[in-house]
Amino acid sequence: MLVGKNVLKVKTMEANYKIWFDTENIYLQNNNNKVGYLPLKDYKPLFNASQEEREQYKFSPFGIHWSNLDEDLCFDGFIWEQNRHA
């Protein structure tokens, strides 16, 4: 599902976390509607991945894991800004 220009599929986990991508960042929205982001250029496997590869993630208690890309992002690493929208 596309959610606006340059935004890829959104998945939701049980705790109402959402992630999505644009051409430059990965975004994470928590259950308090705070949005955090990380620049994809800092995570080459995600930066170079296809939409389908990026969609193959799993949440863990501490972050997001892509076994197909051998990449893990910690929730604590996200830059959090209130009311930031992609």
Q: Which domains does the chain have, with CATH numbers?
A: 11-81 (3.30.2020.40)
User: What's the whole-model pTM score?
Assistant: 0.75
Q: Which two tokens stand for residue 17?
A: 């976390």
**In the chain, beta strands by DSSP E:** 11-12, 18-21, 25-29, 35-39, 58-59, 63-66, 71-74, 79-81
Encode pLDDT of 16-73 as tens digits. Answer: 689 999 999 999 998 888 999 999 999 999 999 999 999 999 998 889 999 999 999 9
Whole-angstrom Cα distance, residue 70 to residue 59? 14
Q: What are phi and psi of 5, to 5 degrees?
A: -65, 130
Looking at residue 17, its pLDDT comes to 84
Pair 47, 30: CB distance under 8 Å: no
Q: Which two tokens stand for residue 47?
A: 């930066």
Q: What is the mean pLDDT of residues 6-22?
A: 66
Q: Look up residue 69 and give its DSSP letter.
A: T
pLDDT band (50, 70, 90) for residue 1: very low
Q: Which two tokens stand for residue 1?
A: 């599902």
